[in-house]
């Protein structure tokens, strides 16, 4: 017996899965898009800043506020001042056009995917046999690739829009801050004139305090802006890794997936200032081979620690190497390879004892504590060490606050995707969690 109809009771609305649901790479791209749109990358210093300032100042100092608004108007209208502000925020019209272009690309790719899906369902419905089945599989793969590229183009548009909007907001905040300071200086000058100089000592102290406070605040805003954009770009790196991995998978026979470019991990080499490494690296004894490049036991030369006399490790690599050294291992950096296109040399050779020939090891530092970032970094490291006969990866999740649950989820996703596409996986995955605990996976 069914209940009587009630206009206040909502009926469940059921819909089928969205196109591309279950396609791992497309779902990862959509996850990045959601993270960008959620603005989780925006520094807390800038979240909601600036909007409530005008009303407060107007209530406290009406004359100074009106003067501030007038100065802000002049800053926008007088070319040298406006040009200086535009230098900070960029060309708004060009940013808008860039966003619109990538949205158009996303729409066009999605339309192509929809058209291909319709064509396969309607135009070859009567085909049968092995060739027909193979064609439908091929077409489904092409449709998934088009949808993934469309979603990726949408992410690029969202990244450009988010970065442009945040930079523009900071531009307005800086403009209003400058106008506030100038307005207060005009008021102070009027006070000095009205008192015929008697208020000058007090005004000098007020001016100093005012300028120092606002300079510090503007500096904090700009630092928060840089940090926010850096976090946003780490999402762009993840996207680049997903697209590159899909491209490699499509270009190889059987759809095998190869190495990816680095998604927010650590691929570079660099030399720190000379004094930065003083007292931190063991001096290298004379050997007839490069301990960072060749798998050979060190015998009596083995001693736990980091041997990096040339300062090849950058800071985030060195932070990981120090953790391994504290475990009693000996860590040597591997030299960067600049003369081979597409070859990214793993970061280190790690030995556990005198008889250990060494394990090629890639270091990754997470910018985002998400399972997608963990997955992408593991697969990238697998591609890198796979070109050198296999090896391990050590992922530093301390800067991003990575938890064990998210690390395990990311590993499971990486292992599943590697099985699906035939990608290389590191022999061992070790993750430094937010609390400094070393997690061994699986």
Q: What is the pLDDT along the chain (442 residues), one digit of tens a residue?
A: 455 566 656 665 544 444 444 345 666 777 777 777 777 777 766 665 544 344 434 444 444 555 555 665 555 555 565 666 666 666 667 777 888 898 898 899 889 988 888 888 888 778 888 888 888 888 888 888 888 888 888 888 888 888 777 777 777 777 777 777 777 777 778 777 888 878 788 778 877 887 788 778 777 777 877 777 777 777 777 777 767 666 666 655 544 433 333 444 444 444 343 334 433 454 556 677 889 889 999 998 999 999 998 889 999 999 999 999 999 999 999 987 654 444 567 899 999 999 999 999 999 999 888 888 899 899 889 888 888 889 999 999 999 999 999 999 999 998 988 888 888 899 999 999 999 999 999 8
Q: Which of 363, 369, 277 is nearest to 324 (CA)?
A: 363
In the chain, where the domains are located: 24-251, 274-441
Total Cβ atoms within 10 A of residue 50:
15
Look at residue 74 in the predicted model and tell me its pLDDT.
58
Cα angle at 341 between 361 and 141, to 5 degrees?
85
Rounded-to-integer distance, Cα 128 and Cα 134, Å: 10
pTM metric for this prediction: 0.44
CA 41 to chain centre: 9
DSSP-based three-state secondary structure for 306? strand
pLDDT at 440 (0 to 100): 94
pLDDT at 145: 85
Residue 387: how many CB atoms within 10 A of its CB? 19
Backbone torsion region of residue 270, taken as left when φ is above 0, otherwise alpha when ψ lies between -120 and 50, otherwise beta: beta
- With a CB cutoff of 8 Å and minimum separation 6, the contacts of 226 are none
């Amino acid at each position: 017996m069914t209940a009587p109809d009630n206009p206040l009771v909502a009926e469940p609305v059921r819909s089928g899965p969205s196109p591309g649901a279950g396609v791992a790479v497309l779902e990862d791209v959509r996850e990045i898009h959601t993270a960008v749109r959620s603005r989780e990358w925006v520094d807390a210093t800038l979240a909601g800043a600036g909007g409530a300032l005008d009303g407060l100042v107007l209530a406290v100092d009406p004359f100074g506020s009106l003067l501030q608004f007038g100065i802000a108007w002049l800053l926008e209208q007088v070319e040298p001042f406006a040009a200086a502000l535009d230098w900070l925020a960029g060309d708004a019209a060009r940013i808008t056009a860039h966003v619109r272009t990538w949205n158009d690309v996303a729409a066009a790719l999605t339309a192509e995917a929809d058209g291909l899906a319709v064509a396969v369902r309607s135009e070859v419905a009567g085909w049968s046999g092995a060739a027909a089945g193979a064609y439908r599989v091929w077409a489904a793969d092409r449709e998934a690739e088009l949808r993934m590229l469309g979603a990726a183009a949408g992410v690029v548009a969202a990244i450009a829009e988010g970065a442009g909007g945040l930079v523009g907001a900071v531009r307005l905040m800086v403009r209003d801050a400058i106008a506030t300071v100038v307005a207060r200086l005009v008021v102070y000058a009027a006070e000095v004139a009205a008192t015929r100089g008697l208020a000058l000592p007090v005004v000098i102290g007020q001016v100093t305090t005012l300028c120092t406070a606002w300079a510090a605040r503007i500096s904090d805003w700009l630092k928060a802006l840089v940090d926010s954009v850096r976090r946003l770009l780490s999402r762009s790196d993840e996207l680049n890794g997903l697209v590159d991995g899909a491209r490699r998978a499509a270009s190889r026979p059987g759809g095998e997936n190869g190495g990816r470019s680095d998604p927010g991990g650590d691929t570079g080499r660099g030399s720190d200032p000379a004094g930065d490494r003083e007292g931190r690296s063991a001096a290298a004894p004379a050997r007839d081979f490069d301990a960072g490049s060749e798998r050979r036991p060190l015998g009596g030369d083995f001693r736990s620690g980091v041997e990096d006399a040339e300062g090849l490790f950058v800071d985030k690599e060195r932070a990981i190497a120090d953790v391994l050294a504290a475990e009693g291992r000996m860590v040597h950096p591997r030299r960067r390879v600049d003369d081979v296109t597409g070859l990214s040399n793993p970061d280190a050779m790690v030995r556990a004892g005198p008889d250990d020939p060494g394990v090629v090891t890639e270091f990754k530092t997470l910018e985002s504590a998400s399972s997608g970032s963990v997955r992408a970094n593991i697969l990238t490291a697998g591609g890198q060490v796979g070109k050198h006969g296999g090896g391990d990866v050590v992922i530093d999740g301390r800067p991003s606050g990575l938890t064990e649950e998210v690390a395990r989820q990311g590993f499971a996703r990486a292992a599943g995707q590697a099985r699906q596409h035939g990608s290389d996986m590191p022999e061992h995955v070790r993750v430094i969690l937010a609390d400094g605990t070393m997690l061994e996976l699986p």
